[in-house]
């Protein structure tokens, strides 16, 4: 097949994938271009653990897994159900989350702080009440320390687990990633985030064992929406694989709370590797955010042409 034929065949898929991840496919978002600005190297070293994990294709699995695990905390779920426009604008919410992750990971320190402060300001309006895992009605805001910690735990565990399963070696190993990404937790108001993989998983076990998580109809409703996310038809077959991959990495007790089978019905590891490899071909070896950050670093090093 000629190059033109390949473009005709895969061009729409690439365009739809970029649109899903960034909100549009016709140009690089302005927030990505601003990552070239700034006067410091940022919180995380180039090529380090956070750069490696957040710049890799397993993030496509990790994002789904994080949403599933976060939904098991009734406070986090209430915030999504009561205040998020996830049904009306699911891709906009996804693009906003990606913007925060990449700004904190690849941006300057000032950009990372400003981006996190903006999210916390928006979260101040996210408040209400929920019934916790013990049947007690509790008030909440999205910035409550326990909710912020659970979101961080679920996020970190999801991205680490997916990358360990399908990604390249992490500089510094699992502890390197958890230790680096603790900085992001602190920017979001988490006072004492875990700094090793063992501590991360012990915290998740503690929340689970304490009965703070729960399933039920509201959780299963969110799971159905995540399973059948309103994506372009070109992306749906691959997304089904990514959803199954995310489920396959969850503990059986978390799957049970989500109303999902506790055992995998079909082998998914190889199919996931093929989907992620295809996404890598379509998107290229580096994200636009990482490329912008590298241009900033080259400028700071006195080598703007790099």
* Tens-digit pLDDT profile for residues 60-87: 999 999 999 999 999 989 888 776 666 6
Q: How many C-beta atoms lie closer than 10 Å to residue 245's C-beta?
A: 26
Residue 21 has pLDDT above 80, yes or no: no
Q: Residue 93's pLDDT is what?
A: 67
What is Dmax (Cα atoms) for the chain? 63
Give the CA angle between residues 114, 115, 121 to the nearest 5°: 85
Beta bridge partners of 140: 128
By CB neighbour count within 10 A (0-12 exposed, 13-18 middle, 19+ buried), where does 12 fall?
A: middle
| Mean pLDDT estimate for the chain | 89
Q: Residue 26's pLDDT is what?
A: 62
Q: Residue 17's pLDDT is what?
A: 77
- Is 115 within 8 Å of 184 (Cβ atoms)? no
pLDDT per residue over 168-207, tens digit each? 999 999 999 999 999 999 999 999 999 999 999 999 999 9
65, 208, 226, 304 from 69: Cα distances, Å:
6, 11, 12, 42
- Is 23 within 8 Å of 92 (Cβ atoms)? yes
Q: What is the mean pLDDT of residues 262-279?
A: 91
3-state secondary structure 215-248: CCHHHHHHHHHHHCCCCCCCCHHHHHHHHHHHHH
Query: For the CA atoms of the chain, what is the radius of gyration?
Result: 19
* pTM as predicted: 0.91
Q: Residue 278's pLDDT is what?
A: 94
Distance CA 187, CA 189 (A): 6
Q: Residue 42's pLDDT is what?
A: 98
Nearest to 108 by CA among 179, 47, 37, 51: 37
| Cβ-based neighbours of 258, under 8 Å, separated by 6 or more | 68, 71, 72, 215, 219, 220, 223, 250
pLDDT per residue over 137-173, tens digit each? 998 887 888 899 999 999 999 999 999 999 999 999 9
Give me the percent of the chain exceeding a pLDDT of 90.
67
The tokens for 258 are 């989500």
- Is 56 within 8 Å of 47 (Cβ atoms)? no
The residue ranking higher by pLDDT, 249 or 19, is 249
Distance CA 120, CA 110 (A): 15
Q: Residue 305's pLDDT is what?
A: 58
| Cβ-based neighbours of 80, under 8 Å, separated by 6 or more | 70, 71, 86, 222
Residue 54 has pLDDT above 70, yes or no: yes
């Amino acid at each position: 097949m000629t190059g033109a034929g390949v473009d005709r065949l895969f061009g729409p898929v690439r365009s739809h994938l970029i649109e899903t991840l960034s909100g549009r496919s016709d140009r690089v978002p302005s927030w990505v271009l601003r990552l070239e600005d700034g006067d410091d190297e940022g919180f995380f070293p180039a090529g380090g653990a956070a750069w490696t994990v957040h710049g890799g294709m397993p993030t496509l699995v990790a994002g789904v897994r994080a949403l599933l695990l976060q939904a098991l905390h009734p406070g986090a779920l209430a915030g999504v159900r009561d205040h998020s426009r996830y049904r009306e604008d699911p891709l906009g919410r996804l693009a906003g989350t990606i913007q925060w992750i990449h700004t904190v990971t690849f941006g300057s320190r000032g950009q990372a702080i400003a981006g996190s402060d903006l999210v916390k300001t928006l979260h101040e309006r996210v408040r209400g009440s929920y019934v916790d895992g013990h049947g007690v009605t509790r008030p909440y805001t999205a910035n409550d320390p326990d909710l912020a910690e659970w979101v961080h735990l679920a996020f970190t565990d999801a991205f680490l687990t997916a990358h360990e399963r399908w990604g390249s070696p992490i500089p510094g190993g699992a502890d390197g990633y958890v230790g680096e990404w603790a900085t992001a937790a602190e920017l979001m108001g988490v006072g004492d985030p875990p700094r090793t993989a063992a501590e991360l998983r012990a915290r998740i076990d503690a929340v689970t064992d304490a009965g703070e998580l729960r399933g039920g109809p509201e959780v299963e409703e969110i799971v159905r929406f995540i399973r059948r996310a309103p994506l372009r038809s070109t992306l749906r077959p691959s997304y089904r694989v990514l959803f199954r991959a995310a489920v396959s990495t969850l503990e059986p007790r978390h799957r049970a709370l989500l109303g999902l089978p506790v055992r995998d019905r079909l082998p998914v590891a190889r199919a996931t590797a093929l989907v992620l490899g295809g996404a890598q071909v379509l998107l290229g070896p580096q994200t636009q955010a990482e490329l912008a950050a590298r241009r900033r670093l080259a400028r700071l090093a006195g080598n703007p042409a790099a």
